[in-house]
Every structure is written in C-alpha cells, then in structure tokens.
Amino acid sequence: MRRSSYLIFAALFLLTALNSGARVRTGRLGGVILHANGKPAAGVAVVLERSDGSTPIATRTNADGSFIFRYIRAGLYDVRASNGKQATVWKHNVMVHAGRMTQLSLHLEPFHAKTALK
C-alpha cells in the first residue's frame, strides 16, 4: 500500500511537470481602428508582425472597428492597419504578455509617404 501511494504520487508529479513545460506562452492583441473623425473603421486590414521580422499575420476589423489576434506568442510586435486609401503609422514594439490581452487604439490617416515607411 505504501509503495503504490508513492508511485501514484511520483506519477502525478511527473505528469504535472511535463504538462507545465509543454504549455505555449500565448497572449491576445486586440483593439479598435478609427477614422480620423473618430468613427469606427470597418473592414480594415490589420497586420501583425513580430519585431524580429518573421512572417506577418493579418485580420480585418468588424463593423465596430474592432479586431483581435488570439493565441499569439508573447513578445514584441509591430502593428499597422490600412484600407488602401488610408493607413495608420506603424506601431512598433507592442508587448504581448502571456495570458493577457493587449489593447490598442489606432487612427487612420490619409495615405502618404510617412505612413508607407516602416
């Protein structure tokens, strides 16, 4: 009886340790994109790129101008939104923390060279 209790405890401890190491550290990044007049911008493409330059991912805003990226690795990101005629400037070094929601509010401005540069 004593030995079987010890084995059960050891097995549970080992499973807990393995499970905690296997967790991926992810967070969420969301917010709202607004026109210069403060109204929500629907259907706008939002691009999220790790600050290390890895492959970007994108989504579109909802009718209320909101967007969300779920299950993204914790770390630094660059964010930009555009609808083809208007764009936001790049928001650099946005920190996403594991287990948390990072919120942004970005305003579109007329597209010109300043917003086109990264």
Label residue 4 by pLDDT band (50, 70, 90): low
The predicted pLDDT at position 85 comes to 87
CA-to-CA dists, residue 34 to 37, 41, 56, 69, angstroms? 8, 5, 22, 17
Superfamily of domain 25-116: Carboxypeptidase-like, regulatory domain (2.60.40.1120)
Report which of residues 97 and 22 the model is more confident about: 97
Is-contact 114 89, C-beta < 8 A?
Answer: yes
Strand residues in 1-118 grouped as ranges (E): 26-34, 45-50, 57-60, 66-73, 75-82, 86-87, 91-96, 101-107, 109-110
User: How many residues does this entry show for the chain?
Assistant: 118
The predicted pLDDT at position 51 comes to 83
Q: What is the residue extent of each domain of the chain?
A: 25-116
C-alpha angle 59/68/111, rounded to 5°? 50
Query: What is the rounded average pLDDT of the residues 12-23?
Result: 53
The model's pLDDT over 69-105, given as tens digits with 9 standing for 90+, comes to: 999 999 999 999 999 888 888 999 999 999 999 999 9
Q: Is the pLDDT of residue 67 over 80?
A: yes
Q: Is the pLDDT of residue 6 over 80?
A: no
Report which of residues 23 and 37 the model is more confident about: 37
Contacts of 34 (CB under 8 A, 6+ apart): 40, 41, 65, 105, 106, 107, 108
